[in-house]
């Protein structure tokens, strides 16, 4: 769409051009052909200024007033094809579309996990048995008019569950991640923002030595590594383990969501620190920070499902982080590990990271956590992590 912009100066230029064409003899009878030609030139210049092809200084003052807006990558809300009010007992076609709010250059559609729809009935929210499988095309569902509904999205391997905000449509985002709405027209469109999810990558730095640590068998100490390669040893080469002996060990894990305009964290993440300590406790209590902020051990306040997960039970300490893990940003998870007096730790140190989101639990209820309530204690998202090779 072409944007038109009129200022006081361009209006005067257009009027002069029109006057010279209409009354060329005002400037002399002998030169009226030349004056009329000049009028056409002035009119063309004014027209180019209106359409933004050239810039005409606004010497007469007054702000240029746009007639239409040039959208570029600007978001334009969807307009339903019909706004007919629902008849009593009628139905509404409700569609949902999600956008990646982290993408500042384009309106990028995002696929959320499956959406489960609950209806309000007698003061309770009842499972309707209806679902949404696509928020990028978008997906739609037929619902009864005048009934309050909630839609919860649940986490999957590649899709997140928590929206960030509502973009357009008569809907409200609740604190539990549900979008609440009541259809009142034959067609309803709800569009919302979310963060696109991606995989987690790691680098490691020995802060005592102020040097990057090699991942085992990898050729660069400063290269980002996926979970499968994130076993970090010394800063000397890619074969040597870290010799701790009785000295303080201060490693930092750098975390990044790998691809541009993405975030790894859904609702929150848990960091399970496994020192592989024996009953003698060779390490003092660790000091752990994330981006400079002190973290406290929350192992005693996890969900019942998280507490019995093997990723948690084997860890001495567990930390909770709610901050996003974005692409192109260095998020520092740092540990200060001090051996107890007379101890020489030699066991590897494991850091397991679990991502929490909404999931559909037993009894068709929606729960939030990093571990599901099924008999296998399945993690909501595939676990990520890194470890330090200690000798």
Taking CA atoms, 102 is separated from 109, 176, 286, 386, in Å, by: 11, 21, 34, 26
Percentage of the chain lying above the pLDDT 70 cut: 77
**By mean pLDDT, which of 77-86, 237-246, 302-311 is the weakest?**
77-86
Give, as one character, the DSSP assignment of residue 263. Answer: B
Cis peptide before 43 (omega within 30 of 0): no
- Concatenated DSSP letters for 279-302? TT--BPPPEEEETTEE----GGGS
Nearest C-alpha neighbor of 350 from the set 329, 331, 338, 335: 335
> Does the pLDDT at position 27 exceed 50?
yes
Q: Which of 304-308, 327-331, 383-387 has the lowest mean pLDDT?
A: 327-331
Task: Supply the pTM of this predicted model.
Answer: 0.77
Reply yes or no on whether the pLDDT at 4 is more than 60: no
Structure tokens, 163: 């929206």
Measured distance CA(179)–CA(50) in Å, rounded: 44
Helix axis angle, 8-22 to 32-50, nearest 10°? 150
Question: Considering the domain 91-194 in this protein, what is its CATH number?
Answer: 2.60.40
Report residue 328's pLDDT band, with 50, 70 and 90 as the boundaries: confident
5 band by pLDDT with thresholds 50, 70 and 90:
very low
Q: What is the DSSP letter of 371?
A: B
Which has the higher per-residue pLDDT, 277 or 56? 277
Task: Report the DSSP pairing between strands 91-100 and 187-194.
Answer: parallel
- Residue 13 tokens read as 């230029």
Confidence class of residue 157 from pLDDT cuts 50, 70 and 90? confident
Which has the higher per-residue pLDDT, 380 or 36? 380
79 in helix, strand or coil? coil
Whose tokens are 């963060």? That residue is 195
Q: How confident is the model at residue 192 (pLDDT cuts 50, 70, 90)?
A: very high
pLDDT of residue 368: 97
DSSP state of 52: T
Give, for 213, the enclosing helix (H) or strand (E): none
CA atoms within 13 A on the CB side of 196: 19
15 half-sphere exposure, CB direction, 13 A CA radius: 7
Beta bridge partners of 321: 269
**Token pair of 131 as six digits:** 């679902």
| Most confidently predicted of 5-19, 266-280, 348-362 | 348-362
Provide the mean pLDDT of the chain. Answer: 84
Beta bridge partners, 124, equal 121
Spell out the domain ranges in the chain: 5-66, 91-194, 200-388
Assess contact for 171 and 183: CB atoms under 8 A. Answer: no
- DSSP characters over 328-369: T--EEEEEEB-BPTT----S-EEEEEEEEEEEE-GGG-EEEE
Q: What mean pLDDT is predicted for residues 138-163?
A: 93
Residue 20 has pLDDT above 90, yes or no: no
d(CA 301, CA 317): 12
What are the tens digits of pLDDT across the range 54-107? 545 444 443 333 333 333 355 566 666 666 788 777 999 999 999 999 999 999
* Closest to 318 (Cα-Cα) out of 302, 330, 303: 302
Higher pLDDT, 151 or 245: 151
Distance (Å, whole) CA 225 – CA 218: 9
């Amino acid at each position: 769409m072409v944007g038109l912009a009129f200022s006081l100066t361009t209006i005067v230029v257009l009027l002069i051009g029109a006057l010279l064409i209409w009354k060329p003899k005002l400037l002399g009878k002998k030169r009226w052909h030349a004056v009329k030609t000049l009028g056409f030139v002035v009119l063309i210049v004014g027209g180019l200024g209106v359409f933004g092809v050239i810039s005409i200084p606004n010497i007469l003052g007054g702000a240029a007033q746009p007639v239409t807006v040039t959208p570029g990558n600007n978001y334009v809300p969807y307009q339903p094809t019909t706004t007919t009010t629902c008849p009593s007992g009628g139905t509404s076609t409700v569609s949902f579309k999600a956008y990646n709010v982290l993408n500042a250059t384009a309106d990028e559609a995002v696929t959320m996990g499956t959406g489960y729809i609950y209806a309000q009935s007698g003061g309770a929210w009842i499972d309707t048995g209806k679902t949404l499988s696509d928020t990028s095309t978008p997906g739609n569902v037929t619902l009864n008019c005048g009934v309050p509904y909630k839609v919860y999205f649940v986490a999957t391997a590649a899709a997140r569950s928590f929206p960030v905000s509502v973009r357009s449509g008569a809907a409200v985002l609740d604190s539990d991640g549900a979008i609440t709405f009541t259809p009142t027209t034959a067609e309803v469109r709800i569009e919302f923002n979310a963060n696109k999810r991606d995989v987690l990558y790691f680098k490691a730095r020995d802060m005592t030595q102020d040097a990057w640590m090699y991942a085992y068998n990898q050729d660069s100490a400063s290269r980002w590594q996926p979970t499968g390669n994130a076993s970090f040893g010394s800063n000397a080469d890619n074969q040597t383990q870290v010799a701790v002996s009785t000295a303080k060990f201060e490693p930092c894990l750098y975390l990044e969501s790998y691809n541009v305009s993405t975030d790894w964290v859904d609702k929150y993440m848990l960091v399970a620190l496994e020192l592989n300590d024996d009953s003698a406790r060779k390490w003092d209590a660790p000091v752990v920070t994330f981006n400079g902020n002190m973290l406290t051990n929350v192992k005693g306040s996890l969900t019942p499902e998280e507490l019995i997960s093997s990723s948690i039970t084997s860890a001495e300490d567990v930390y909770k982080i709610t901050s996003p893990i974005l692409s192109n940003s260095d998020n520092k998870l740092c540990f200060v590990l001090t051996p107890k007096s007379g101890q020489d730790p030699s066991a590897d140190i494991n850091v397991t990271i679990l991502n929490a989101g909404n999931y559909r639990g037993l009894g068709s209820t929606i729960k939030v956590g990093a571990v599901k309530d099924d008999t296998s204690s399945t993690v909501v998202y595939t676990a990520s992590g890194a470890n330090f090779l200690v000798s």
